[in-house]
Amino acid sequence: MGLLRQVEYMTEKTAMTRMSATDTLWLDMETPQTPMTLGGVFLIDPRSGGPNARQPDQVFDYIEQRLHRVPLLRQKLVRSRTGLAEPLLVQDEDFDLAFHVRRLALSKPGNLEQLKNLVSRLISSSVDMARPPWELYVIEGLDEEPGIPPGAYAILTKFHHSVFDGGSVGAILWEFMQDHPDQKVDPAPREGQISSDDTTSDWLTLPMQAGLDQWMATIKGLNSVGQLVSTAAGRKMASPTVPEEDTAAGNALLAPATRLSAKVTANRVCDFVAVPMDELRDMRNALGKPKVNDLWLAIVAGGLRHYLLAHDSLPERPLMSLCPISVREGHPLDGGNYLSGMRVTLATDIADPIERLAAISRSSAAAKDLAKDLGTSFVENLLGLQPYFVRSQMAKVVATLPERFNLAMPSPANVIVSNAPPPKGGHYFAGGKALTTFAFGPLLEGCGVLHSITGFDFESTVAVTSCREILPDMEFYMDCIRRSVADLKAAGASARA
């Protein structure tokens, strides 16, 4: 009867959402060395917003007044007692905003370098999974940085990837942004809030339901495997649209080993480079208007080439990138992971920036076509081939192999490049002007350098997340990224002349 009462209580008091196979992968792959968190940092100038701008000690009230716009932020994870089915997200009846919103201060002098060091420490660990899995830090004391007004402060947000993907994080953050400093919050709850299709019987008959769900998932998974084989065979037989040298480079199962292939540790380091949107637009026009994502891949590729050449460790084979693709069809504020991905060559074996960009564009187009052919549910269906309790244990074993045996895991990609274009507007937070923003995300074993591209409609930023053992000279690597931007600008100017 105790279990029955608990089930009835949870059903009456909360909405329940079953986590997907993709969601739980981020949960089960987490280790102390690879916290599966993502988020962003905003620099805010409260003096630029006029009399209604909030000071750092008023941010808590600002968040509290807008929390109803994102019901997901009040939900926590609850695991099945049997362990046979995926965990559920339920309303946290003991939700305490004070646990999630915290204030910190930089010591004197209070500059950007100190802020980046603090952010690196804060993202080196995960969040409390017994509560709704997110945190927000108000960081004061940024008073001695040239170009940043005294009194500016930072907002650091941290979310767990099992509940929030990049698209949902971006949508959530923009719910708390303002288009002008006096913009008021809509008091009405957002339409289409999270609802549950689970009932009391889901808890009472969980093993049977899990078995039925698994049969359906297996059918879908087998269909996806067949689709993959058919698509691969069809592409091999078709007339090639990609030069042979590009195809050969992309067909190698594993990416070439480099000094960046070391084992991931928990000692995070992050930094960013900002490029004005007008400058990026002029560069793109001069280079023949490549896709924005391809241009950023070329910027990253040039930075990596400069960095590895300086360390006398550029491999003959080109480095490979893993690029997440959003396949979400519903509302991003409902959370969850709706992701696919594509593997794109970075053509780091090509010295000329324009030729490198062209090779990247060809590879990217082919990868997008493959992802389109496989469909939006391919990853989810493939993961669903195994019952949850089996794939959960397998994921945990694989995730702990590097630490247990001191291994550097091979990987199909060398780096991750995630591009999340921001919505227009959103230039203010709590009445203060947003000066810049940069993002961070999780690292994967064998792929320990992440490039997160985001920004505002007036500026684009590329932020790099890694660990100190892989990138001990992060500042030099950021100089290499800047040099790559300059290379492409010069190449574009030459091509236009």
Q: What is the pLDDT of residue 329?
A: 85
Q: What is the pLDDT of residue 330?
A: 86
- Its pTM stands at 0.87
Going by the DSSP 8-state scheme, the letter that residue 34 receives in this structure is B
d(CA 36, CA 443): 8
**Burial (Cβ within 10 Å: 0-12, 13-18, ≥19) of residue 12:** exposed
Residue 309: which residues within 8 A CB-CB, separation 6 or more? none
Question: In 14-84, which residue ranges form alpha helices assigned H by DSSP?
Answer: 21-28, 59-66
Which two structure tokens, joined as six digits, stand for 93?
Answer: 């009846």
Q: Average pLDDT for consecutive 10-residue bins of the chain (497 residues)? A: 31 65 93 96 90 88 94 93 85 96 95 97 97 98 92 97 95 93 78 43 46 50 51 44 47 87 95 96 96 97 98 97 91 91 96 97 93 74 80 89 81 95 84 96 95 94 97 98 98 85
Which two structure tokens, joined as six digits, stand for 488?
Answer: 């492409």
Q: What is the pLDDT of residue 53?
A: 83
SS3 293: helix
CB distance 167 to 331 below 8 Å? no
Residue 318: which residues within 8 A CB-CB, separation 6 or more? 249, 256, 345, 346, 347, 348, 349, 350, 359
Q: Which of 16, 13, 12 has its CA nearest to residue 77?
A: 16
d(CA 391, CA 378): 16
Residue 426's region, left for phi above 0, alpha for psi from -120 to 50, else beta, is left
d(CA 339, CA 341): 7
Residue 296: which residues within 8 A CB-CB, separation 6 or more? 417, 419, 451, 453, 460, 462
Q: What is the pLDDT of residue 403?
A: 82
Q: What is the pLDDT of residue 405?
A: 79
